[in-house]
């Protein structure tokens, strides 16, 4: 719906001395009299990008992080020493012109490419789709997105589920047609945007822009990017921010342990944490910002990695789809056999189903996953030798995976979320990026923007 704003991206990327600052720490080029004290709240990608940029210009920067690690929603597990796994952001989505591609090239980070051309889909009985089923699925995909495009031209805005209700009503709930529709809604919308189609805005669900190119993942995990950006920074881990007093200088950032004084504060708290009111602002944030926080949506996309002794699935396939009898249950999988030569499957669970299973035990989640895999590959397949999984909705320092646009939200609200307040408070994070919300590159670019806003203060 929106054309890419090349000038905006070009300007942010060109100002990114974060690319070089990590190796040129001694060359701060701001006069001492202009040196500012900046507290960055959050050591995720946006916070580290902003901090590195300002640090490279000679400012006194401290990053305050609640967790005992950096990265935020970029979190690489090293439990399996031969295969680092990403619990959060995994892919550079669209490598052409993407600033994260430039960062990865800067540090010579090795990458692997998964391809949607290497995909296969199984029906509810666990059999490969027949030619006729593939044709039916393709036709339903056209019908679903035709209905959505039509609804985008009509007022008022409604949820995606409401927009395609005329199509859904044509079929019995237990019919194959209904399962095909749910598969499309789950695999192509809920797992892309992390929200429920009962809530996602038809008008604005796809309002983010995209980069062209492949989807690449890191051989050593996405964590190599925050590790690079963190070099030379003062980072205070285990500091849970409780209150920000910004009514007069100096600004006071109060944690459960101590307080930090600043001329400027960059807030990169995830939308879910802002919505939960975990941090008290004194005075309260402006009403426009509160409205944006309340109306934007924080979605959920959880991962379940299963490791087996051997590969029992198609060796040359990257993506596996399953048309579940129940909406959203284990509909999408990624194989790491071809790209990494490892017998590992990754199952996704998004939106309401993703939230629901967070209350289950690990064993229950694995058993549910195996029930689906045995439906496809037979009862004789082995149990996994190990597993790893996420629970982002109940993670206290994120309370969700990434943001989306629900009914009642408009793109301008992300501008309101991003807007600085009185040259005191600045805001970054993927939810504040109107053009690239829900992405790692969106978070990164928002951090550069916030740093630039501080740089431009005379």
Distance from C-alpha of 280 to C-alpha of 271, rounded to nearest angstrom: 14
Are 86 and 222 in contact by the 8 Å Cβ rule? The answer is: yes
Question: Which of 31-40, 41-50, 211-220 is predicted least confidently?
Answer: 31-40
Which DSSP category does 141 fall into? H
Distance from C-alpha of 217 to C-alpha of 334, rounded to nearest angstrom: 12
Mean pLDDT (the chain) is 93
Q: What pLDDT is stored for residue 12 in this prediction?
A: 52
Share of the chain above pLDDT 90, in %: 92
Are 75 and 69 in contact by the 8 Å Cβ rule? The answer is: yes
pLDDT tens digits, residue range 324-356? Answer: 999 999 999 999 999 999 999 999 999 999 999
Q: What pLDDT is stored for residue 198 in this prediction?
A: 98
Q: What pLDDT is stored for residue 458 in this prediction?
A: 74
Judge whether residue 20 has pLDDT over 50.
no
pLDDT tens digits, residue range 160-206? Answer: 999 999 999 999 999 999 999 999 999 999 999 999 999 999 999 99
Q: What pLDDT is stored for residue 7 in this prediction?
A: 36
Are 397 and 416 in contact by the 8 Å Cβ rule? The answer is: no
**Average of per-residue pLDDT across 122-141:** 98
Confidence class for position 16, pLDDT limits 50, 70, 90: low
Distance from C-alpha of 285 to C-alpha of 295, rounded to nearest angstrom: 15
Higher pLDDT, 29 or 84: 84
Judge whether residue 18 has pLDDT over 80.
no
pLDDT tens digits, residue range 78-103? Answer: 999 999 999 999 999 999 999 999 99
Q: Where are the beta strands (DSSP E) in 124-218?
A: 215-218
Confidence class for position 248, pLDDT limits 50, 70, 90: very high
Q: What residues does each domain of the chain span?
A: 6-74+100-107+216-298+408-455, 116-211+301-389
CA-wise closest residue to 357 among 299, 301, 399, 397: 301
Judge whether residue 6 has pLDDT over 80.
no
Among 3.90.660.10, 3.40.50.2000, 3.40.50.300, 3.40.190.10, what is the CATH number of 116-211+301-389? 3.90.660.10
Judge whether residue 122 has pLDDT over 60.
yes
Most confident residue range from 10-19, 27-36, 413-422: 413-422
Superfamily name and number for 6-74+100-107+216-298+408-455: FAD/NAD(P)-binding domain (3.50.50.60)
Distance from C-alpha of 300 to C-alpha of 191, rounded to nearest angstrom: 9
Residue 69, both tokens? 């690690």
Q: 3-state DSSP call for residue 81? A: coil
Are 239 and 66 in contact by the 8 Å Cβ rule? The answer is: yes
Cross-strand partners of 421: 425
pLDDT tens digits, residue range 346-386? Answer: 999 999 999 999 999 999 999 999 999 999 999 999 999 99
Cross-strand partners of 333: 320, 347
Residue 187, both tokens? 């695999």
Confidence class for position 19, pLDDT limits 50, 70, 90: very low
Length of the chain: 458
pLDDT tens digits, residue range 299-319? Answer: 999 999 999 999 999 999 999
Cross-strand partners of 307: 344, 386
Q: What pLDDT is stored for residue 34 in this prediction?
A: 81
Judge whether residue 107 has pLDDT over 80.
yes
């Amino acid at each position: 719906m929106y054309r890419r704003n090349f000038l905006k991206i070009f300007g942010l990327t060109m100002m990114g001395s974060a690319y070089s600052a990590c190796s040129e720490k001694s060359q701060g080029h701001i006069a001492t009299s202009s040196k500012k004290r900046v507290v960055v709240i959050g050591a995720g990608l946006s916070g580290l990008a902003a901090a590195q940029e300002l640090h490279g210009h000679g400012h006194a920067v401290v990053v305050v992080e609640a967790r005992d690690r950096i990265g935020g929603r970029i979190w690489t597990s090293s439990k399996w020493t031969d295969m680092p796994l990403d619990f959060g952001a995994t892919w550079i989505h669209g490598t052409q012109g993407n600033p994260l591609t430039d960062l990865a090239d800067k540090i010579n980070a090795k990458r692997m490419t998964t391809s949607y051309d290497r995909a296969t889909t199984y029906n509810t009985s666990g059999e490969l789709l027949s030619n006729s089923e593939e044709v039916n699925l393709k036709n339903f995909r056209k019908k679903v997105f035709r209905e959505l495009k039509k609804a985008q031209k009509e007022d008022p805005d409604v949820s995606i589920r409401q927009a395609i209700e005329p199509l859904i009503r044509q079929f019995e709930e237990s019919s194959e047609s209904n399962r095909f529709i749910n598969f499309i809604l789950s695999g192509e919308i809920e797992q892309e945007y992390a929200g429920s189609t009962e809530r996602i805005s038809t008008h604005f669900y796809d309002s983010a822009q995209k980069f062209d190119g492949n989807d690449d993942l890191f051989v050593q995990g996405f964590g190599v990017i925050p590790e690079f950006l963190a070099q030379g920074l003062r980072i205070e881990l285990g500091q849970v921010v409780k209150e920000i007093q910004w009514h007069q200088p100096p600004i006071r950032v109060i944690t459960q342990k101590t307080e930090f004084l600043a001329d400027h504060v960059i807030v990169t708290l995830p939308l879910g944490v802002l919505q939960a009111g975990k941090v008290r602002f004194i005075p309260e944030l402006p009403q426009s910002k509160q409205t944006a926080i309340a109306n934007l949506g924080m979605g959920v996309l959880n991962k379940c990695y299963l490791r087996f002794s051997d590969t029992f699935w198609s060796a040359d396939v990257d993506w596996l789809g399953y048309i579940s009898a129940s909406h959203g249950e284990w509909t999408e999988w990624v194989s790491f056999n071809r790209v990494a030569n490892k017998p590992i499957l990754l199952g996704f669970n998004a939106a309401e189903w993703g939230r629901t299973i967070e209350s289950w035990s690990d064993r229950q989640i694995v058993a549910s996953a195996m029930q689906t895999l045995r439906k496809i590959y037979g009862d004789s397949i082995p149990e996994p030798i190990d597993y790893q999984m996420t629970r982002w909705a109940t993670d206290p320092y994120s309370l969700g995976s990434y943001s989306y646009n629900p009914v009642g939200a408009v793109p301008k609200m992300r501008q309101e979320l991003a807007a600085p307040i009185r040259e005191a408070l600045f805001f970054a994070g993927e939810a504040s990026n109107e053009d690239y919300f829900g992405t790692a590159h969106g978070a990164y670019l928002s951090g550069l923007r916030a740093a630039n806003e501080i740089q431009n203060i005379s």
